[in-house]
Chains A and B, each alone.
Chain A
Amino acid sequence: MKLYEYAAKEIFSGAGIPVPRGNIVTSADEAGETAKKMGAVVIKAQVMAGGRGKAGGIAKSSNPEEASRNAQRILGMSIKGLPVRKLLVEEYKKPQIEMYIGITIDRKSRCPIIMASSEGGIDIEETAREKPQKIVRMHVNPLTGIHSYQARTLAYSLDKKNASAIADVITKLYRVFTEYDCTLVEINPLALTTDGIFALDAKMVIDDNALFRQDAKEEETGSLEELAKKRGMSYVGLDGDIGCIVNGAGLAMATLDMIAFYGGHAANFMDVRAGADAEQVKTALGIVSSNRNLKAIIINIFGGITRCDEVARGVVEMIPEIKVPIVIRLTGTNESEGRIMLGKHGITMASSTEEAARKVVELGHTDK
């Protein structure tokens, strides 16, 4: 789960990492009011998208009038399709040097990795590509946490004069990373200003698997992804016209690939997880078929222990609501019962992923 910049900054600040004073607002008037108290401010769009600055979603404002004008403009914007509803109005700090600090998980080494660079700012990805030697990397043993010498070494490589303040930020950021079960924390830029060191931006992603022990609450969006997640399923919308319902993530990806192999385009990824019963199948069909572009639906269940008669019952009960042809592949317990139930309703059967994918692409095309 990704946090908004302001939420991440609240956490960073609570951990003792210096961030500029700021206020979260939803109107131009409020932005003006805040600027009256703070003087020169930066108005920052709060959306879950990178490249906000380049899109015009960040504006420096030297007086309250300018602040409310900028706020008005940014509140009307959409950045990468996301409407701006909240703004962070923050005391302006002029950066003299912009550095980068990020902590993420090195999957290969199975431990946290800290990345730091003396050349932070908006072009960090370019730096990573073109001057990889400018990014210092350091692994941390998850059992001991970060050692002082490690923070010190990283800090020296960024700015020797301010090393102790930077080492302090790195140590505190690592603490946030572990205490909040993060998969990513990032400060870019960590700026040296005339008032000292400040985290001018903040990024934080919390491990979805750890949400049971974290307070963080996801903002409700009403999306199909969210609906599926609540029912213990995993859904990702795509832009094709063949609806997919599969048990298991790997098999679901293989199904999508097979559809593409036969010249079709999947409308979604959906993993209904193990032990799908009639209710689960009905919910899944409801979510997938809410897409109006659908030309056909493929259901691919390799159960082993999944009861095929259960799956078939779910499909049969939903038939009146489904307007497009369905191809179903069922392997598991009570397979023949399931097949008989579905056969009566004229549903196309297949015995492998490839056969099902080929048939659903054919059916989707005939309907065009």
Chain B
Amino acid sequence: MGILINKDTRLLVQGITGSVGSFQAKQMKDFGTGIVAGVTPGKGGSEVHGIPVFDSVKEAVDEADPNASVIFVPPQFAADAIFEAADSGMELIVCITEGIPVHDMMRVCAYLKPQSRLLGANCPGITAPGESKIGIMPNSIHLPGNIGLVSRSGTLTYEIVDLLSKNGLGQSTSVGIGGDPVTGMSFADILELFEEDPKTHAVVLVGEIGGTAEEDSIEFIRGMSKPVISYIVGVSAPPGKTMGHAGAIVSAGSGSALEKIAALENAGVTVAKSPADIVKRLNYFLR
């Protein structure tokens, strides 16, 4: 069992007829994810990779009973897609879309009720090896095991998952929370689930410059019974510049990598110096 998803997850793909949505639906299906429906307004009645397509989430719920949704719709329409998923009772909403206006995301987050959990936006999704995958992480890199991984990044997550797998360190679940300034679930939200999850024995937290998401998770980490190894990127980032992710910016003297590293170390949280160092430190804790 992983956190948030498992073999019984019944997934809906919003934006399934687009090129990315369709391609990624196939990848998820190949991974073993139970995809029960797709939605694209106006394309109801068609099929994508054998998955039935509906005009609305409501219709998909009535016909196929999904409990989680993944969103691949363009940024202009993505907030609306999240509202639609939430109003139809989706328990987990994973938004992959990059480039959603931050005011839209603030409204979304204020609207969501506790029974709908949101991952992202601008995230690679979540993978529980051997169980289910929602999102765009490459299928080949995962290995079932006991490490929980949570990250603000996409490809850096793949790099670290791949490295862990190659070193025999399998994962219970790998989660991307997204690189935007305002996102759904936080580091602390995910850490709480890892702490409760009997299959997870240690956690890797991958942070980056911008905001205080890493610092905000310190209090929770200190109360955890499981080891947490953090890794923070962006030490070389100049202040005032957005480093690719909309949320990755050192502004008004806060959010720098060195500050984050210092705050974590001062609180007694292990900070790895490189991806290889993560492996080394995990081996030390799990020995």
Contact = CB atoms under 8 A, between A and B. Distances in A.
B247 A252 contact: no
A13 to B, nearest CB: 22
A304 interface: yes
B76 A213 contact: yes
Nearest to B102: A207
Nearest to A180: B103
A353 B109 CA distance: 35
A281 B153 CA distance: 21
B156 A250 contact: yes
Interface in A205-239: 207-210, 212-213, 234, 236, 238
Interface in B1-41: 23, 27
Nearest to B141: A304
Interface residues of B, number: 61
Interface string A239-261: 00000001111111110111111
A49 B136 CA distance: 40
Contact of A257 (B141, B213, B235, B246): B235
A250 B151 contact: yes
Contacts, number: 167
B233 interface: yes
Interface residues of A, number: 49
Interface stretch (A108-116, A192-200, A291-299, A310-318): A108-116
Interface stretch (B58-66, B218-226, B269-277): B269-277
A209 B99 contact: yes
A261 B273 contact: yes
A141 B103 contact: no
Contact of A111 (B75, B106, B234): B106
Contacts of A209: 75, 99-102, 246
Contacts of A248: 153-156, 244
Contacts of B163: 352
Interface in A21-44: none
Interface string B222-241: 00000000000111111001
A263 interface: no
Interface string B136-161: 11111100000000011111111100
B242 interface: yes
Contact of A249 (B99, B139, B179, B211): B179
Contact of A260 (B156, B236, B245): B236
Contacts of A208: 242, 246
B182 interface: yes
A236 B243 CA distance: 7
Nearest to B24: A305
Contacts of A302: 155, 158-159, 162
B110 A142 contact: yes
Contacts of A261: 273-274
Contacts of B273: 261
B209 A253 contact: yes
Contacts of B209: 253
Contacts of A260: 235-236
Given A209-B102, A253-B208, A257-B235, A234 B107 contact: no
B285 interface: no
Contact of A112 (B106, B136, B238): B106
Nearest to A329: B159
A112 B235 CA distance: 28
A256 B182 CA distance: 25
A183 interface: yes
Greatest chain B CB density within 10 A among A246, A256, A257 is at A257
Contacts of B246: 208-209
B204 interface: no
B44 interface: no
B106 A110 contact: yes
Nearest to B166: A352
9 smallest beta-carbon distances between A and B, as pairs: A250-B153, A249-B244, A304-B138, A248-B155, A250-B156, A271-B244, A210-B101, A253-B233, A256-B236
Given A261-B273, A304-B136, A352-B159, 11 more contacts: A110-B106, A110-B182, A112-B106, A183-B102, A213-B76, A234-B242, A250-B179, A250-B233, A253-B244, A269-B237, A331-B162
Interface of A: 105, 107-108, 110-112, 141-143, 178, 181, 183, 207-210, 212-213, 234, 236, 238, 246-254, 256-261, 266, 269, 271, 274, 302-305, 331-332, 352-354
13 contacts: A105-B182, A107-B213, A111-B109, A142-B110, A181-B102, A208-B242, A209-B100, A210-B101, A236-B238, A254-B159, A261-B273, A353-B159, A354-B274
